[in-house]
Chain A
């Protein structure tokens, strides 16, 4: 019943996998698909984003609707304020860093609490050409904000998002990959979490042809907390890949990774990589990662690979769990034995599966939209 497919352990230690960093695409070879970080990704469907050939431009519009307390600037590539927190970890990311036209930079001043979410809308209008993007969100110490990244439309898009959470600050990011079905999107979201800061990140990936999103966290001081959540629903032909990396290099930090996905239809493919490293100096670390996949039809493929590397003996907690399986027959039987028809019972169980995760999202206005988007997938 709980058919765990493709849970292949990697051979290299997690710490080694994430060693290579550069702003220069030439420092990374063109991926062939045999590399650890590319082996699950359908390179042929990336429309050349990973190659070295020049690409025609497309059309992506980035608009920001900020909370009144925050500042938003558009800054040209090359400015020294960009790329401070994150150095690209793969070729596409480096290519985005050297190719975008203008970055959107959101700053929340010290001690300021944003009164409403800041929404950055990324809308694609042309899947034929490629567009590169860059976003920086910086919370100065003790600031608090919620930021929504709302991706819609048709695009071939690669971008980097730098999230700087100052000491004692609290940042919640919700990233919606609500793309049209012809979009290819490759993205890195990297958070630098300050001393006693709190960071939550929720990826909601429902649309797109190929979406490869890599949320990562590094701690810049002790006592930081990071909670990474994800919800995805892969339909026929969709490739939805989430590559998590939490780098514990500071004392007494905490991380939680919870990703839940559902798959249905021929060649629906979900990939979840959960890399966590606890370095020698990161004593008192508390980490747990969890991935659960609901396989709704035949012909789908799940690759779920948790990797935990622990380099200190003094951890508070370190664990992971991964399971992929079908809907539980005894759940369906129980509901149907009360008169509820099969389709309705199935919807109830799937809604329940995602419900708790949706309820945790810091923007209540989004709950209904996400719930109905999931319902639409089931219809």
Chain B
């Protein structure tokens, strides 16, 4: 037992053959023989109870109960020994069925039935020996005959049972039970038939040959059979190694030894070897009985241990479920809630008692509530999955009716052919809220952006008409008053119109900026050198400034818009600010990584490093607008356009050393159409 206790598996097998058990049984089996060697005779006097003796005692007048009992002592010993065997054999069947109910091993009731039927035969033999069953044949031959018969029967049934067990592979309880009943019935039938035949035998051969080496030759049959049973029992043990099958083998030791006592020792009824044999028969019955009991106990221990483990596992699982941050619900195939973990209690405010047994749609707001039953039905009939194995964002309903957003993932589980669904529920209120906040913020920003752009558009467009009126009025004043106007006032009028012009340019640029790069969609693809030629013509570049392009530009293709705008602004800036007698502007470019890199270099005054960022801001000019006309929008526009398409712009420059503007135009422009300008 101690070495099998550590086993955790659910099969009830033994690891190794129980040698100690075998040795103990062997020692017990040879102990009577040893006692004989020590000179102890375990025999009884042969029965003196016959007609002549009784008549003699009667004549002598000493017919006492003591005398009768003394005369019967062999019979009585025989009765006690045999009946003990019968008791053990018949009890075995109960323990065999208990064993079967625990181990589900069909061999146990079959062996049990074999032993039971042997017990019946023994009972018959015993009862016949004390004349409780009347027989036809002569009594003195009948006892040894029925002994040999029951012995043969015993080993025959055991071998048959073992053989059946070896060939029965079914562990399924139902069909197993039918087979067991069938086998048991056959055993009983054989037993009854044998008893009936034995009772009706008229003539029996001589069974005991005293003073011969083989005093009971007929017992060689069971002796041989018990020897032959070994390989069958060994096979059974190998197939299902447990105490029962081991005990069958161990039981062969007393069986064989007792038969040896019978075959070679017993020369008459109730002698030493006769009694030893009968006593060893009890041992032979006790061994499988013990095997059953040991197996039974062990099975129970293992089962107990398994149940403890199961209970612990269940507790652990429950703890995992209860400690889970997410809600976990299981429902059956009809949608009835089966379990509801602790997180769910927090989520839904229901206690498990309130929802277990109710439909899952209790936790759902409309329209999910209505849809769910239909959905489950659909799923069962069509296998059409809406959520299983996918996970979705849906809504849950708390006890007080509050609806809150949840993320639900459902998986399907088959447990012993029963389909259940487990759902993991996560409250995503916080996430939803921040998503909404973000969405609102983005919408607000888009709105603001849009308003700003439409404002820029409206402002630049609608402000122009009064501006034009001011210009007209100033011009008319100048025309109409040309006679009487002094130079100072004429200059003021000129300045007035100059400012108007500047404001209009500013508005134009603002308009351009608000549209910034929107004409990209259906623009043509052009070589940069050609585009720059066109830009040069539009810009009316003064003669003292040379604008050159390098050869590599001829190998590149770019969209006309918005690069026309970009070059126009960069080149016009370079021209506008050039302070040299001979101005030089060079435009070069090549593909570089994910960009086309253009460089617009000039030999102008250069820009101090501290302004390198500032020049790209709106309305920034580095020189007085009276010196150089400019709205301060050009570079801001260039930057905005490039930013919109995923490009960038930067400047390298030092005062007095000219400036180089680097334009990075993406080879794969990302077109963000986040600005929807008003159409009018």
A and B associate in one complex: no
- Chain B residues in the interface with A (C-beta under 8 A): none
- Chain A residues in the interface with B (C-beta under 8 A): none
